[in-house]
Amino acid sequence: MPLHDYQVYTAEGAAIGKIEKFFKPGREIPQKIELANGAYGIRLISLPAKTAGLWHAGWTNGMDNCGVYSAALGRNVANKSEEAKIMRSLGFIPESDLGRHFIEDTQEKLANHWDKQEQYTNKYKENLKTMSPEDAVAATWTAKECLDGTVDETYTQPLKGV
């Protein structure tokens, strides 16, 4: 049996709620129904069911609490492919385009870079215990390391071109 929604109004025209009415198949569905005490109901437009043919048609765009939450966009999207499409249209690179293990590899490179800086810091602190500040600097960052670029690599941006 088809189920139809009606917005209910008082005799004076004030909205007071909604009701659902069943009608036998094949019977004409009225746009307006009369209720008790002069109240009446106006038929509401029925929403289509989410069928397999509509799942990827974008009909859920803009609806709250649907799909998956995208932290990158700060809102819900229907699925990951929609998120990637929106990211590209905004000029961003979606994570799916970066390749496998990109984030883990980048984090590992950064950790190694910071470890090298930490080694220099610890070496400098140790040298300061037994040397003057000028001598500690010279002993920590040797002229050879400064000239061959080791020190520059340690203190410049670790992920150029990424």
The reply to whether 151 and 111 lie within a common domain is yes
The answer to whether residue 63 scores a pLDDT higher than 60 is no
The reply to whether 129 and 108 lie within a common domain is yes
Number of domains in the chain: 3
The reply to whether 135 and 110 lie within a common domain is yes
Q: Is residue 33 part of a domain?
A: yes
Helical H segments across the chain, by residue range: 80-89, 102-130, 133-140, 143-148, 150-155
The reply to whether 33 and 76 lie within a common domain is no
Q: Is residue 69 part of a domain?
A: yes
The reply to whether 15 and 37 lie within a common domain is yes
The reply to whether 107 and 86 lie within a common domain is no
The model carries a pTM of 0.43
**How many CA atoms are closer than 13 Å to the CA of 32, on its beta-carbon side?**
5
Q: Is residue 53 part of a domain?
A: no
Considering only CA atoms, which of 57, 56, 29 is closest in space to residue 44?
Answer: 29
Range of the domain at 39: 3-43
Q: Is residue 17 part of a domain?
A: yes
Across all residues in the chain, what is the average pLDDT? 82
The reply to whether 11 and 25 lie within a common domain is yes
The answer to whether residue 54 scores a pLDDT higher than 90 is no
The reply to whether 13 and 27 lie within a common domain is yes
pLDDT of residue 55: 55
Q: What is the per-residue pLDDT across 8-18, written as a single tens digit (0 to 9) for each?
A: 999 888 888 88
Q: What is the per-residue pLDDT across 29-43, written as a single tens digit (0 to 9) for each?
A: 888 989 888 899 998
Q: What is the per-residue pLDDT across 110-142, written as a single tens digit (0 to 9) for each?
A: 899 899 999 999 999 999 999 999 999 999 998
The reply to whether 93 and 132 lie within a common domain is no
Q: Is residue 70 part of a domain?
A: yes
Helical H segments across 25-101, by residue range: 80-89
The reply to whether 122 and 139 lie within a common domain is yes
